[in-house]
Amino acid sequence: MKRPIRVLELRSVWGTGGGPDKTILAGAKATDPSRVAVTVCYIRDARDRVFALDRQATALGLDYVEVIERHSFDPRIWPALRRLVRERAIDVVHAHDHKTDALTWALAKREAVVPLSTAHGFAGEHWNERLYYAIEKRLLARFPRVIAVSEPIKGELVRTGSKPARVTVINNAIDHRVFRRDPALRSDIRRALGFDSEDTVIGAVGRLEPEKRFDLLLEAFGALHERHPRAILVIVGEGSLRPDLEAGITRRNLRSFVRLLGYRTDIVQLHDAFDVFVQSSEREGTPNCVIEAMAMETPLVATEVGGTGELVTNGVHGLLVPRHDVSALCNALEAVLLDRAGAASRAAAARARVELDLSFERRVQLVEGIYDELLGNHSEVQ
């Protein structure tokens, strides 16, 4: 009997993670272990006191291991990774960020493994992030295969040296059976959060970091609230900009109408309380939060950035607006509030699109096909 392909999902991240981590963990859960045996490995910094992905992986019943590093350039992780690859007889090492891309490439030079990477995006403003991404893009041009989560990311990889035939676009996906709205829960959840039945709750989910542009969302919501005083904005997520956002909320006299909920694991239940979902980002890969809103049939307003336009057809599945356009963002939110029937129709179409095109089953099939091709074309490894 043919043994399954053995894949090591390799990732390095601080804190609670983000969209890529949802994709890694849910993808590993959805994979048929008789066909592909997945080991999820996180390189975890010993200084990180917020890390939570180990608990999530355990709850999903995944084959999960960690390699602990004392600092970002700890050489002791190298023998630990080589030992893991040998002990698990790994065939494919699948990287998910610039650090693990470099480690995966090095492993392929020393061990009998094939390197693969998923490029989730290249967001980052600090000089060191720009440097890392510049190096990463040129390194990925030497990989036998790269998965890009959106067409713009593929375009950037091709621009920086990757051969188009080696870059495959596979959008992020979701388990639509888990992300399903339950109207019966709405009243209890809203009551628990302190919302009245007459409040209009606008939800947003994302790390409190610059690329999410929650500052612009606050500005748009402030203008909207003047015309719709029962509107409430809820932002779910944690990050470095919390103090700035809190100051902005106070400055606009919105403390009674804007709530920062911090990091939450009950996103499904929160969507049952939302009347609208909004994404205000200036950069994205393929945003998981948008797919989640689509699956939950939460009327959607989003900036047309990254892969969002590949997920959402404007006017069909949601309303798309240009990045940085506060007026357009405010007007689109108001359009949802004034035309609930139209919003509900778009939300139903979004749910149908998730079930048909953005399911995890479909994504897993596409990724497994790449594993098959890589092992059938081992000579591609340089």
Q: How far apart are CA 117 and CA 87, in angstroms?
A: 22
Q: What is the pLDDT, as a whole number, of residue 19?
A: 84
Nearest to 172 by CA among 152, 149, 155, 151: 149
In this structure, which amino acid lies at residue 95?
A
| Contact assessment for residue 321 and residue 333, using Cβ atoms and an 8 Å cutoff | no
| Contact assessment for residue 78 and residue 111, using Cβ atoms and an 8 Å cutoff | no
Distances (CA, A) of 141 to 286, 292, 369: 21, 31, 20
Cα torsion angle, 87, 88, 90, 96, sign:
negative
Domain 183-357 has CATH 3.40.50.2000: yes
Q: What is the pLDDT, as a whole number, of residue 286?
A: 87
> How many residues comprise the chain?
382
Q: Tens-of-pLDDT digits for all 382 residues of the chain?
A: 478 999 999 999 988 888 899 899 999 999 999 999 999 999 999 999 889 899 999 999 999 999 999 999 999 999 999 999 999 999 999 999 999 999 999 999 999 999 999 999 887 667 677 788 889 999 999 999 999 999 999 999 999 999 999 999 999 988 899 999 999 999 999 999 999 989 999 999 999 999 999 999 999 999 999 999 999 999 999 999 999 999 999 999 999 999 999 999 899 999 999 999 999 999 998 899 999 999 999 999 999 998 999 999 999 999 999 999 999 999 999 999 999 999 999 999 999 999 999 988 889 999 999 999 999 865 443 4
In this structure, which amino acid lies at residue 118?
T
Q: What class is the 5-173+359-380 domain? A: alpha beta
Start and end residues for every CATH 3.40.50.2000 domain found in the chain:
5-173+359-380, 183-357
Distances (CA, A) of 51 to 11, 101, 163: 13, 21, 36
Q: What is the pLDDT, as a whole number, of residue 127?
A: 64
pTM, two decimals, is 0.83
Distances (CA, A) of 115 to 3, 103, 202, 244: 20, 10, 42, 41
Q: What is the pLDDT, as a whole number, of residue 261?
A: 96
Distances (CA, A) of 263 to 26, 208, 234, 271, 293: 19, 10, 12, 15, 17
Q: What is the pLDDT, as a whole number, of residue 278?
A: 98
Phi-psi region of 15 (alpha: psi -120 to 50; beta: other; left: phi over 0): left
